[in-house]
Structure 1
Amino acid sequence: MAATLTIAVPSKGRLKDNADALFERAGLALRKTGHERGYSGVMQGLDGVEVAFLSAAEIVHQLESGRVHMGVTGEDLVRETLPDVETSVEFLAPLGFGRADVVVAVPDCWIDVARMADLEDVAAQFARAHGRRLRVATKYLNLTRRFFAKAGVAGYRIVESVGATEGTPAAGTSELIVDITTTGTTLKANHLKVLEDGLVLKSQAHLFAARNAGWTDGALTLRNAILDRLSKAV
């Protein structure tokens, strides 16, 4: 039968492995159709569902445009990418995996810097001493700008990170970072500490619904069936 609902799931990495295991437990095993390296599949146990295997980042864009009805991806990617989250997607369910915190971390030798409020003082001193703003290395440009603005910190500039963000202060390419962490071990290994109020976002994988998708009665019925099955498997 023709697909009534399209759901996007991660195509690689731990998110894929965890999503596969979750849907398997729910009796909704995800299976690729055609070539093993293809990008489409089916959901066993529920007719009318097409599965799109995409990168976690691409899933966010597909949700925003409404080209898929539902998607599994990280909250950090959704909040970083979408300018107006609530009008684009609906948070259907946290899935209990892909947990990580987006945090502000500074060198642990900055003994007088414990909170975001301290950063503005440091920024002013740094500008007087060096003639430039503090550099914040991050992949989370939008989350960083919003968080720093809310904290009243303005004396900084963002250095977009394309590699290992936690290594940039030691390398001399930034003074502090905003990055994702799960255990904090990597931060400690790079002599960084998280500010006491430096938790930007506590993220995990969610099941999202696209508000702009074509929600027919059939698609809504399938959505409710998937949610019901997953709620018993999470």
Structure 2
Amino acid sequence: FLQLATDVRCSAPRGCVRICLGQNGFGDGISREKIRIAVPSKGGILDDTKDLLRDVGAELRISNPRQYTAALRGFEDVEVWLQRPPDIARKVRDGTVELGFTGYDLVVEHGGESNEIVPVHEDLGYGQCRLAVGVPMKWGDITGMEDLSKHLKNNSERPLRVASKYSRQTKKFFAKSGIKNYRIVYMDGALEASTQMGTADCIVDLVSSGVTLRENLLKEIE
């Protein structure tokens, strides 16, 4: 199976999805007959992962889409779990699975304070995106984090409400930008609508093309 991982590295173009290993190596201390790996359970990332595995001779077989386990053809000692990407990062960290395919944003967010998740292959060529700050388009004079910081200093009556599910990364980025007067409003979906609904002033979320931001009257700032 480790040779398979090497083959994946050699065949992959650049992108944002990683193969990750727990810092303590294989397993959680419990003896198992099979190696457990986790892949995204649905969507484009699952399709791209299946294509990548097939290209290196390890076809992913999903016998029932309603179940959460699968198999790799030719690798009888491997058990595949179909999981939500955030759960993959957590399960790799705690040793429930040995290896996982998940986004780097989730590795950073859920990797623990001591880097308990080790990226084995750092770029698999798909899932391209970036973590960005989105503010309302009507904030015409704010084009970057420096502008946002000045705005907060001049309007310090209440903290900035930042909608995000990436609280760890948001805190680090805002600290680096010198912004202190804010609070995170945790949301797990539909972040782009939060500013129009009045539940947040801005958002921190993954951005690919930026179309969804613009459709919700938001703009990305540097």
Alpha-carbon distance in 1 for matches of 2:100, 2:112: 18
The structure in which a higher percent of residues are helix is 1
**Aligned partner of 1:22 among 52, 61, 79:** 52
- Which 5+ residue runs of structure 1 have no aligned equivalent? 197-234
**Aligned partner of 1:126 among 106, 131, 155:** 155
Q: TM-score, normalised by structure 2?
A: 0.78
Which secondary structure does the structure 1 equivalent of 2:79 belong to? strand
Q: Does structure 1 residue 66 correspond to structure 2 residue 92?
A: no
The equivalent residue for 2:14 is none
Q: Deviations over 1:172-200 (max 9, x none)?
A: 2211111111110111122221112xxxx
Deviation at 1:36, TM superposition (A): 5.0
Q: Does structure 1 residue 90 correspond to structure 2 residue 116?
A: no
Q: Does structure 1 residue 38 correspond to structure 2 residue 67?
A: yes
Alpha-carbon distance in 1 for matches of 2:169, 2:87: 18
Alpha-carbon distance in 2 for matches of 1:50, 1:3: 10
RMSD between superposed Cα atoms in Å: 2.0
Structure 1 runs of 4+ off > 6 angstroms? none
Q: Does structure 1 residue 5 correspond to structure 2 residue 35?
A: yes
Count of residues paired in the alignment:
191
For CA contacts below 8 A with separation 6 or more, give which structure has more relative contact order.
1
The equivalent residue for 1:187 is 213
Tell me, yes or no, if the aligned pair for 1:126 and 1:134 is still in contact at 8 Å: no
The equivalent residue for 2:13 is none
The equivalent residue for 1:107 is 136
Q: Deviations over 1:64-111 (max 9, x none)?
A: 012222110111112112223634323324111111111011122222
Q: Which amino acid aligns with 1:16?
A: L
Deviation at 1:37, TM superposition (A): 2.9
Deviation at 1:60, TM superposition (A): 1.0
Q: TM-score, normalised by structure 1?
A: 0.74
Deviation at 1:29, TM superposition (A): 0.4
Which secondary structure does the structure 2 equivalent of 1:94 belong to? coil
Q: Does structure 1 residue 177 correspond to structure 2 residue 203?
A: yes
Quote the sequence identity (%).
38
Q: Which amino acid aligns with 1:70?
A: L
